[in-house]
Amino acid sequence: MMGTGKFWVVSFLVAVGALVLTRGFIANDYFFFAAYVVLQYIVLSTAWNILGGYTGYTNFGVAAFFAVGAYSSVVLHKLTSLPVPVMILVGGIMSGILGFGMGYLTLRLKGVFFAIATLALAIVAQTLIVNWDYVGGSRGIYIIRPQQSPLYGSYIQYLYSLMLILAWISLAIARTIERSRLGLGFAAIRDDELAAEAGGVPTLRLKLIATTLSGALMGMSGAPLPYYVTYLDPASSFNLSYAVNSVAMPLIGGMTSWVGPMIGAILLGTIQQLATVTISSALNLLIVGLLLIAFVIIAPNGIVGLVQARRRARARW
Amino acid sequence: MKQPLLEVSGLGKRFGGFVALESIDLSVRTGERLGLIGPNGSGKSTLVNCLCGTLRHDSGSVVFDGRPIDGLPAYRRTRLGLARSFQLPKPFRTLNLVDNLRIPLLYTVNARPGARLSNGAIDERCRALLADVGLADKALRQPRDLTQVEMRKLELARAVASAPRLLFADEAMAGLSPSEIEEILVVLVRLNEQGITIVLIEHIMRAVMSFSTRLVVLVAGQKIADGAPQEAIRNPEVERAYLGE
């Protein structure tokens, strides 16, 4: 197994390598347009998995955190001329606070009750935004992109680069958690909360860390959205498909490891992008549904689970 | 006289209109092997849950090692040295046996003031604890690969991993065969000899009688006897509760 320090270095080099290669060799802007979405889903599903996969609390309110990040950028865009990375940071903080609040209010609920509460949170947040005129209300708002990218290349390439870095950071955070004392505490909570508490695990504190971190990463992935779409409205930014995808991707990839959400996001995200271009974007949810059914039957522990099972079987041979 | 390790006074717990525990007084001395018996529904597990912080009691006070612990969350009590095993084993089912024990070591032993164990030392301690209960060869297995009696042993090992001063063993032998009960008793007696005070909550009279140095009997949420085991079970009230009029 790779040490944590080594992983950070190697994965950073991979991320930079991907950045340089794609930007050096691909001239078509559409590639970056599509890749941005896939990368955004790597961040979202990794963030979802920190709470859902590691700690065992299902969050259906992904859209709330995502949109709070996006709308905090809208406010900043109107008030200031801050660079996008700073907006990402602010969006992360806002959604992190929301995550902490949600955790504090709902973590006494378990299982399906918690899931419903998170779904309600998304609806409440959407209602607030719809009625907030300053950020466009229900008619939405146009965001004029700066004319030039702060770095070389087009603006979409710039956003793509930011999202790539964000994906790298989320994956590195997830992997670090997985191998730490914190990750073991999360696993204990997922397996049995009473036993975890009896084993000295401060369950409430750990769950708050999970909701805050998970929410913050979701908000960060939403913060560049206004610049990506240039027209933001509540119906699309609070779209249920964000939640469905963020849950489906870890399920398909595998929830026990940081690799799972990444594989799921790349696989499902790419298929959806291809389907959007070749057939219709209306097909996306159908694809998710069919894949979910297939995986629940064939590989309930996701792709990572399949590989692990095969490895274990071989070791026993 | 030395102050008791655990001093419970006037402890009460209600669930709605149902009085589960009524004004329980109990003191446990360091090094003792205390048996806690009572018919089903008499409040044994509720008492353990109140003392370990899983439930909050409504009245009375609990003092552990000279320190009031009323209202402390369960994890803080474990860190103070008050451990429990669960009546139905609650292993961390996705973790292997070593990691199951690593959790109390990381979150309890290493969370106490004083020397921190290194990762290597924790690994060693986990394996030693598993060896103590005869599970050394299953260290990297998952709990689902264990038998009932092995599951009980894992449950005990995990409670002991937190290096407790007082251990509540809640029906650690329910559903086991006589030879398996013997195995668990051996483990418990050895733990007691290592200096852990043990409260054994149990239905199996033979096991309780051979293990305990003192016996407490609960009936319908009230303590009706407390004393030497032979005397306690000859108490007329206890006989009535167990055998009927």
Q: Is residue B176 part of a domain?
A: yes
Structural contact between residues B198 and B33, judged by C-beta atoms closer than 8 angstroms? yes
Q: Is residue B228 part of a domain?
A: yes
Whether A182 has its CB under 8 Å from any CB of chain B: the answer is: no
The ipTM value here is 0.90
- For the segment A86-117, what is each residue's pLDDT rounded down to a tens digit? 999 999 999 999 999 999 988 788 888 999 99
- For the segment A299-311, what is each residue's pLDDT rounded down to a tens digit? 888 888 888 888 8
Question: Which range has the worst mean pLDDT, A6-10, A231-235, B192-196?
Answer: A6-10
Identity of the residue numbered A5: G
Tokens of A240: 């249920």
- For the segment A231-269, what is each residue's pLDDT rounded down to a tens digit? 999 998 998 889 999 999 999 999 989 999 999 999 999
Pairing of strands B214-219, B18-28: unpaired
| Confidence at residue A169, expressed as pLDDT on a 0 to 100 scale | 94
Q: Do B107 and A187 touch (CB under 8 A)?
A: no
- The structural domain count of chain B equals 1
Q: Do A192 and B91 touch (CB under 8 A)?
A: yes
Q: Which residues contact A51 (CB under 8 A, 6 or more apart)?
A: A57, A59, A210, A211, A214
Q: What pTM does this model have?
A: 0.91
Q: Is residue B231 part of a domain?
A: yes
- Which among B95, B100, B107, B118 is the top mutation candidate for probing chain A, defined by the most A β-carbons within 10 Å of its own β-carbon? B107
* Closest of A202, A219, A154, A210 to residue A178, by C-alpha: A210
| CATH code (residue B59) | 3.40.50.300
Q: How far apart are CA B211 and CA B205, in angstroms?
A: 10
Find the mean pLDDT for residues B109-117. Answer: 85
| Confidence at residue A2, expressed as pLDDT on a 0 to 100 scale | 62
Q: Do B78 and A256 touch (CB under 8 A)?
A: no
Find the mean pLDDT for residues A200-206. Answer: 94
Structural contact between residues A39 and A164, judged by C-beta atoms closer than 8 angstroms? yes
Domain that holds residue B204: 6-92+165-243
- For the segment B138-189, what is each residue's pLDDT rounded down to a tens digit? 989 999 999 988 999 999 999 999 999 999 999 888 888 888 898 889 999 9
Q: How far apart are CA A117 and CA A124, in angstroms?
A: 10
Nearest CA in chain B to A184: B103
Q: Which positions in chain B have a beta carbon within 8 angstroms of at least one beta carbon in chain A?
A: 52-54, 73-75, 78-79, 83-84, 86, 90-95, 99, 102-104, 106-108, 111, 158-159, 161-162
| Confidence at residue B40, expressed as pLDDT on a 0 to 100 scale | 84
| Confidence at residue A9, expressed as pLDDT on a 0 to 100 scale | 84
Q: How far apart are CA B101 and CA B35, in angstroms?
A: 26
- For the segment B18-28, what is each residue's pLDDT rounded down to a tens digit? 989 999 999 99
Q: How far apart are CA B23 and CA B29, in angstroms?
A: 20
Q: What is the DSSP letter of A129?
A: H
Q: Is residue B102 part of a domain?
A: no
Whether A255 has its CB under 8 Å from any CB of chain B: the answer is: no
Q: Is residue B134 part of a domain?
A: no
Q: Is residue B208 part of a domain?
A: yes
What Rg value do the Cα atoms of chain A yield, rounded?
19
Structural contact between residues B9 and B60, judged by C-beta atoms closer than 8 angstroms? yes
Chain B residues touching A3 at Cβ < 8 A: none
Q: Is residue B172 part of a domain?
A: yes
Q: What percent of chain B has pLDDT over 90?
A: 60
* Alpha helices (H) along B40-147: 44-52, 74-80, 97-104, 119-132
Q: Is residue B59 part of a domain?
A: yes
Find the mean pLDDT for residues A12-28. Answer: 82
Q: What is the DSSP letter of B83?
A: E
CA A78 to chain centre: 26
